[in-house]
Chains A and B, each alone.
Chain A
């Protein structure tokens, strides 16, 4: 009897191991993509965290959108747009035959509802704080034409970027519905969501740019670590964001395509101006010239990363100020001299980092090592993000701090951080000229003039050493051998609709 039971058990386990086929559809049009954390909310624009946006952007679509090829804003649901009344009124004309995921046609009513929802005009519950300040109202001109009016006091040349961020949703759809079963006009339809675990999306056949080639995609919460690489190699996940180590590992594999580019994120060593030694420019310059950034790039970073000289990455080519490269080259001897001159030959300070971020903690170690060579004693103070955010980012309580600052397509949003009274002005930087230039850029609707202004600001930041700009780490992603064509963005977005099947290309 005993023997029979044991035999039966062994037979059963063998059956479950090999006898049954995996249901993971062997179909190439289904992808599994790992994500780091679960979402706060899947309703359009409700959760502002990058981890959510990079996924949810697949469901939603706006009137206009950022095009990673031309690096400019191009019409999306809108056929065309016009800016009137000195930037107060934006007139959008919708494309023909636009449809939502539920099959309903998209009309001006829906656009009006979407903008009113986000600004909380009717409900008193704004979704995006800035819109609750900026929006005056939305007028329906006809079924396909809407006028968006910005308040006179708030209007700025950056409004167009904010408009691009607003997801268009069906008229009268409630928050509760949007939280559980969001409907949009993006390339992917919502299928299933299990909080903290995964979200499954399905290609939208009536997408205005045509149905995407990947028919189903599952974004699955799967923390970074050795397991991810193993799962990728085992074919269980089809997409792998790379760091310098996994990059080297994946590079060895012949069939795997690596898509990489600059990331438009900026790694900064913030030096707090309220810490006395950092009020002396010579000290800041000594620190900058004491850090061997090339060594950091070679040992820590992705091959695509680039050295920076100001708070702007060459990703946004048009706005990037070249020619600042020669200002503070690595020169430990010069650094020692500068410190001596400033009277700080035995300088001590602490660098606060986010304990969860391995890269920044490694970066801090490299900086500590380099600075010890010029006689600066650095201590590293890693704290969790939950503490870093209120204390360092908002409260500015630190001596020096490392941070990877997210980029945006809009240079105003990047450089605004240096405005004297801006809440996220982490380095407590203040320069009246920069403040005035930022205001001028906000008021100017002339692209050429804006480019000049942003370049001028970059020069000033470099000259004043507002912070020490280190690198744009870049992004690199590996796709499993079946796929190709993935495009990266200068903000959080895994655009699945850009991924194509390799066999279709051949």
Chain B
């Protein structure tokens, strides 16, 4: 029942988001036909494209037409890439964004959990307090700045990695892999301090709780207490942060994709907005909404795995 409610509310959210985007696009100044034709507009071509794009019908008809089309699994044709469907365009870009997201997440998890634990354990030592301040600086630096510094070191000075992203897995698999190293590194550098900082704070807080004292009095050693009790309870707050990071990554890291000229979803979304290509923008927004809902769903599951009390609490209801 609970899940049914959740799915229903998600569908309503998607519908409302789509409607808002549709209306916003209508309010924005500019015209998709003129944007496409540019200065060399011609009344004959304008009329032809307006008909092809279906712009002659009123807004509500266009919106409901779009909704029915989506229900049939068709996101429509792009205005700005003639001959290509929105789905084809999203498919061609989603893989890059997916790889960046997954690799960054793995790096963030693998690095920040031990790091956060280590910082929390050694919280009393002055040097580690300094490290915590340092991590705060780490997540305050804008990502594009980190990107530029990394490009300077790894591309220009060491000549190890390309500055320019080439993604073509069939023709150049190694170059494609190399192209993703700096973007992933940039994103990881900005996210690892954030997650480890949160984890560290949360663990310090947990370590003052009664059950820790009880565990200590039972004679358990510090490592065991940290691993089996404190870390587990602290992970709950970290999962929320990880969820937010995942949503940030999956929605297309516009800045990073731009800096490294990577063909991901973020750049596709920007192109769609600039060219007033509303089928494309609607399609990407729909995809993003679905991704956000799915991530929230997985976070829920993760909560209940880590903390059985949450699962049991739900069962009682």
Decide if A48 touches B172 in the complex (CB within 8 Å). Answer: no
Decide if B268 touches A196 in the complex (CB within 8 Å). Answer: yes
Cβ-neighbour of B263 out of A125, A133, A197, A389 (below 8 A)? A197
Decide if A40 touches B274 in the complex (CB within 8 Å). Answer: no
User: In the complex, what residues of A have CB within 8 A of residue B160's CB?
Assistant: 17-18
**Contact code string A356-397 (vs B, CB < 8 Å = 1, else 0):** 000000000000000000000000000111110111011000
Interface presence of B48 (CB below 8 A) = yes
Q: Bound complex: CA of A383 vs CA of B28, how far in Å? A: 12
Interface presence of A132 (CB below 8 A) = yes
User: In the complex, what residues of B have CB within 8 A of residue A209's CB?
Assistant: none
B197-217 CB contacts (< 8 Å) to partner A: none
User: In the complex, what residues of A have CB within 8 A of residue B162's CB?
Assistant: 22, 231, 234, 236
Decide if A49 touches B38 in the complex (CB within 8 Å). Answer: yes
Residue from the set A17, A196, A227, A384 with the largest chain B CB neighbour count within 10 Å: A196
Closest to A384 in B: B30
User: In the complex, what residues of A have CB within 8 A of residue B44's CB?
Assistant: 126, 129, 132-133
Decide if B151 touches A227 in the complex (CB within 8 Å). Answer: yes
Decide if A389 touches B38 in the complex (CB within 8 Å). Answer: yes
User: In the complex, what residues of B have CB within 8 A of residue A222's CB?
Assistant: 164, 261
Interface presence of B156 (CB below 8 A) = yes
Question: Would A394 and B181 be within 8 Å (CB), given that A195-B89, A230-B163, A236-B162 are in contact?
Answer: no
Decide if B43 touches A393 in the complex (CB within 8 Å). Answer: no
Q: Bound complex: CA of A273 vs CA of B308, how far in Å? A: 75
- 9-residue interface stretch from B80-88, B218-226, B309-317: B80-88
**Contact code string B133-164 (vs A, CB < 8 Å = 1, else 0):** 00000000000000010011001100111111
Query: Total interface residues on A, using CB and 8 Å?
Result: 60
Decide if B164 touches A394 in the complex (CB within 8 Å). Answer: no
Q: For residue A69, give the distance in angstroms from its CB to the closest CB of chain B.
A: 26
Q: Bound complex: CA of A10 vs CA of B45, how far in Å? A: 58
Interface presence of B92 (CB below 8 A) = yes
Interface presence of B260 (CB below 8 A) = yes
User: In the complex, what residues of B have CB within 8 A of residue A227's CB?
Assistant: 151, 163-164, 259-261
Decide if B271 touches A38 in the complex (CB within 8 Å). Answer: yes
Decide if B151 touches A389 in the complex (CB within 8 Å). Answer: no
Q: For residue A427, give the distance in angstroms from its CB to the closest CB of chain B.
A: 15
Residue from the set B28, B148, B160, B263 with the largest chain A CB neighbour count within 10 Å: B263
26 sample A-B contacts, Cβ–Cβ < 8 Å, listed by A number: A18-B160, A22-B174, A23-B175, A24-B166, A40-B275, A48-B38, A48-B40, A129-B43, A179-B82, A179-B83, A194-B263, A197-B92, A220-B261, A225-B258, A227-B163, A230-B152, A230-B163, A236-B164, A385-B35, A386-B35, A389-B30, A389-B31, A390-B29, A393-B39, A406-B39, A424-B39
Give the interface of B toward A (CB within 8 A).
28-31, 34-45, 48, 78, 80-84, 88-89, 92-93, 148, 151-152, 155-156, 159-164, 166-168, 171-175, 177-178, 181, 258-261, 263, 267-268, 271, 274-276
